[in-house]
Amino acid sequence: MDSRAPSKPVRRETAVEPVPPETDERELIASVLRKDRKAAARLVAGHIDAVYGYARSRLAPRADLVDDIVQDVFLAALTGLASFQAQSSLRTWLLGIARHKIEDAYRRRLRASLALDGLSETGEEPPSDALPVDEGIDRTRARLKARRILEQMPERYGLMLLWRYWEQRSAREMAAAIGTTEKSVERALARARARFKELWSKE
């Protein structure tokens, strides 16, 4: 990638040009691979709003993580563009990179909290799992309320609920990703759901 290219994509308030049709997209990719800085800027401008929107929706209310995720997505895309095989649209490919970057963020943040009390093994019974958190978060009419509640929760609990219910990851997958046991994750999820339920009832 051209070392003169900016290291961080910049969002512009003006309208960006539409995503090019398939033939133009191939030409754009070829130009980027030839180290054309203008083509790289066009690629970013044509897709940055979609990537931002996706990252915001998957990380809300952790808006502080979004800018870094988007930056990482485009750096990875511009660096690895030669591996793009056009089996999907460029935008779909970029959103796939975003999904992986978001999961990386979940893993990093939750591993950092592993030394705290969030995922520790205890002998206590998990709190009640009565609240249908997945339904509460996914319902359009409750989304804003759910985000307000997540903002009030400890970061590790909020991230675990997002990872489990928005990203549809099982407790087993989460445990493997952050290096703990499935039982520990289930207990932490139960505590997070109990706290979510408590705050939900107070809203």
pLDDT digits (tens, 9 = 90+) for 98-135: 988 888 888 777 766 554 444 444 444 444 444 455 55
Query: HSE on the CB side for 181, CA within 13 Å?
Result: 6
CB 97 within 8 A of CB 73: yes
Q: Could you name the CATH architecture of 22-103?
A: Orthogonal Bundle (1.10)
Classified by CATH at the fold level, domain 133-202 comes out as Arc Repressor Mutant, subunit A (1.10.10)
Confidence of residue 194 (pLDDT cuts 50, 70, 90): confident
Residues of the chain with CATH 1.10.10.10: 133-202
Task: Give the separation between CA 39 and CA 31, rounded to whole angstroms.
Answer: 6
> Which pLDDT score, from 0 to 100, does residue 114 have?
56
Residue 23: count of CB within 10 angstroms of its CB: 8
Q: Which comes out higher in pLDDT, residue 111 or 170?
A: 170
pTM: 0.56
Residue 53 has pLDDT above 80, yes or no: yes
